[in-house]
Amino acid sequence: MKGFVELPKGAAELNEIMNSFNHPMNRVDKTTGDLQYRLFELLVLKQLIEVASRSLDVESLLRLLLEKTMAVSQAQICSVFVVEFDANRFRVVDARGLEPGLRKDSYININDTLLQRLVSERKPLLVEDIENDPRTSKENDPKYGAPSFLSMPICVRDDLIGVLNLACKETGQVFTSHDEHIVSIMIGEIGLALDNSRLRSQLVEHVKELKERTDQMTKINEQLQREITEKKRVDEELSDINKFLTSILESSRSISIVSTDLDQNVLFWNTGAENIFGYKAGEIVSLHKIDILYPDDEVRKEVEDIRSLIAEKKSVRRELREITKEGRTIWVNLNLTPRFDESGNVMGILGIGEDITERNRAEEEQRRLEAQLQYAQKMESLGTLAGGIAHNFNNLLMGIMGNTSLLLLETESEGPKYEKLKKIEKLVDSGALLTKQLLGYVREGRYEIKPIDMNRVVKETSDTFAMTKKNITVHQELNEKLSTVKADQGQIEQVLWNLYVNAAEAMPTGGGLFLGTKNVTDEEMTGRPYDVKPGSYVLVTVRDTGVGMDEKTMDRIFEPFFTTKGLSKGTGLGLSSVYGMVKAHGGYIEVESKRGEGTTFSIYLPASEMEMIEEKPRSEKIEKGKETLLLVDDEPLILEVSKEILESLGYTVLIAKGGKEAIETFKAHKERIDIVILDMIMPDMNGSEVYNQLKKINPHVKVMLSSGYGIDDNKTSEILNRGCDGFIQKPFDIKDLSQQLRKILDKQ
């Protein structure tokens, strides 16, 4: 290959190539370990959510939290307390790791601990060194191991109910902000279960109180019956009592009071019954049986069971469906008691009822909203974690891609090692596709938005799919006058491919795949469980004749890492990335399925009136330059490989290992530096802050952003909108980097 020095052949050359990969491969091993530990954290979090959802006991939930946080944080000494504010003390729920340790249900005065600040501020207490931290300044007790501990408040809504304490990590290391973050997520996930437990306790107490009141009312009624029997001979007194009782019964306008005989004939019907059921007393008393209120045979069967209990002289409390005069079905909370004759035999039923239809509807809505909130919080937590993993993995891939590009420059294209290096490039592209799925799910992926023809995309992808799956027949019903869609074609193709693969797995022995497109409007999308924005949409349907899904599976198919195939056969990112990409394009996705009847996915994408733009093929040219660049990144591997690539292109490269160092280097060499390549995510000073400082020093400085996140990341978009010159996403190869640099540097 012209322009390059011939390298020595044989073992020395192979040894040099292998040595160049040792450093990035070590980073691969480390990152793999980190990924495995993050997966362990996710599994523990999943177990915590599943177990917590089945428990309603506060102390059991707190002990579960203690156990799971010990596993995740690698703490050997842990305890969990309940806060009793009225006595200014903690009560010990559980403690592990010390012998002898704290006794269960023992008490600790809050003022005798280091947790006074936590109790007053409701904020976590993360201490790396107990002796040197100004908040503690206490000599470390050797039995606690390393002088680091983490105490976390446990809050339900805005109320502090407990404190979780972690100490003595197994590795002898200090607790970090990551420990605080993951434990905070676990506390947040268990918070709803704790709140439900507290509400259940209140409900049990309320039910107990109501039962006591009902029993009291029953005793009063029985006493009243005895008094009426004793005074029956005194007509005048009996008449006064009847008038008095009638006035009481009539005065209630929201509570129905109805009396019947054993044949269900209505004997008494108060104003409250008129208001609830719509019948006047004159329309029903002595004219109709009470079963006029029963809407169907199911209710009649339930009433027969109630009558059997009444015949045994038992009182009954039941929620019953009943029907009004207007035909409206309502729910009534009934307290039914037997009426006795002089001999103590049951002669009828006295029923007191309350219309609880609206209350039931409100409670059901509250349960639905709570379930939606819990799901949204879970998805947000998992999305944040997935985005962080993808960003770090992109940095690692950047190191591998950069070194591969350098070796390709030094390797003859006809040589055997050249093809091996090209295979490595393809493997890096496969890894980048996985991170693209993760970033697409959390809406942090790179999108190239332009008008596309969905008919062409569906036809091209399905034709290719049909060639690989001979046992599946593909049917297309495409609207010839279909509107265009503004979208990233690669992302939409990925959506379709994931749905095709999902359909194929549901039809292991073959079947039919039915694809359709049509134009719709928001008026045709009524009755959805989400708010549809007004406008026109392109509908794409993917229907298979496979095994279908049950409701439990459908409720979880869009969750990241959820798979029905097992971890050894799937990542669980396919349909979650589909959901994320459709949502990021302003669209909606629906699924309909029944076990044994196949599955249909419906994708709605906002229609566009823009015309299609023909794509230009990617240039394979490597463009060189002689300018001076400042390369800013906090990852040593990225700095090293990027510097080598840039120098091989002819540039003079200055490096900075963080934001603050970048500012100092730019101040010292601002007359020489032609462009700054700036990483967005750095610990000491982020890319946005560095960009602001660079512009203050030289308002005309050219800056190209570089990040493992996509161009649609909020921070990246904000800087580009303020005039930043360009963006390149990791991992990039030498062609992308050289062309993007020349595009910015040559711009006047």
Q: What is the pLDDT of residue 5?
A: 46
- Tokens representing 325 are 């005069």
Q: What is the pLDDT of residue 203?
A: 74
- Tokens representing 71 are 């596993």
Q: Return the CATH superfamily for domain 231-355.
A: PAS domain (3.30.450.20)
pLDDT tens, position by position, 421-439: 777 777 777 676 666 655 6
In sign, the C-alpha dihedral spanning 379, 384, 385, 391 is positive
Cα–Cα distance list, 703 to 690, 694, 714, 730 (Å): 10, 9, 18, 16
689: pLDDT strictly greater than 80: yes
Domain 454-608 is in which class?
Answer: alpha beta
Minimum mean pLDDT among 102-106, 400-404, 470-474, 676-680: which range?
400-404
Whole-prediction pTM value?
0.40
Cβ–Cβ under 8 Å, residues 151 and 142: no
Write the CB contacts of 583 (distance below 8 Å, at least 6 apart in sequence): 443, 589
DSSP secondary structure string for all residues of 585-599: TT-EEEEEE-TTS-E
- State the burial class of residue 454 (Cβ atoms within 10 Å of its Cβ: 0-12, 13-18, 19+): buried
- Tokens representing 579 are 């959901």
Q: How would residue 217 be classed by pLDDT, with cut points 50, 70 and 90?
A: confident
Q: What is the pLDDT of residue 338?
A: 93
36: pLDDT strictly greater than 60: no
What percent of the chain lies above the pLDDT cut of 90?
Answer: 22
Q: What is the pLDDT of residue 571?
A: 39
Domain 628-745: give its CATH architecture: 3-Layer(aba) Sandwich (3.40)
Q: What is the pLDDT of residue 287?
A: 85
29: pLDDT strictly greater than 70: no
Q: Do domains 55-200 and 628-745 have the same CATH topology?
A: no
334: pLDDT strictly greater than 60: yes
Residue 41: closest CA among 467, 407, 382, 514: 382
Cα–Cα distance list, 616 to 484, 485, 619 (Å): 19, 19, 9
**352 phi and psi, to 5 degrees?**
-115, 120
Average pLDDT in the 606-614 region?
Answer: 77
Cα–Cα distance list, 423 to 149, 429, 434, 620 (Å): 47, 10, 17, 17
Report how far apart the first and last C-alpha atoms of the chain are (Å, whole number): 35
Q: What is the pLDDT of residue 545?
A: 92
Q: How far apart are CA 567 and CA 552, in angstroms?
A: 19
Q: How would residue 235 be classed by pLDDT, with cut points 50, 70 and 90?
A: low
476: pLDDT strictly greater than 90: yes
Q: How far apart are CA 12 and CA 29, in angstroms?
A: 25
Q: Return the CATH superfamily for domain 55-200.
A: GAF domain (3.30.450.40)
Q: How would residue 669 be classed by pLDDT, with cut points 50, 70 and 90?
A: very high
443: pLDDT strictly greater than 80: no
Average pLDDT in the 635-642 region?
Answer: 86
Average pLDDT in the 335-356 region?
Answer: 91
Q: What is the pLDDT of residue 569?
A: 41
Cβ–Cβ under 8 Å, residues 69 and 47: no
Q: How far apart are CA 182 and CA 417, in angstroms?
A: 44
For the ranges 139-148, 512-521, 561-570, the maximum mean pLDDT occurs at: 512-521
Q: Where are the domains of the chain?
A: 55-200, 231-355, 362-441, 454-608, 628-745
What three-state secondary structure class fits 203?
helix
In sign, the C-alpha dihedral spanning 519, 525, 528, 532 is positive
- State the burial class of residue 617 (Cβ atoms within 10 Å of its Cβ: 0-12, 13-18, 19+): exposed
The rounded mean pLDDT for the chain is: 81
Q: What is the pLDDT of residue 568?
A: 37
pLDDT tens, position by position, 370-401: 766 775 676 667 667 766 777 677 777 777 87
Residue 738: closest CA among 675, 669, 654: 675
570: pLDDT strictly greater than 50: no
The residue written with tokens 């009396």 in the block is 259
Q: How would residue 652 be classed by pLDDT, with cut points 50, 70 and 90?
A: very high
Q: What is the pLDDT of residue 20?
A: 66
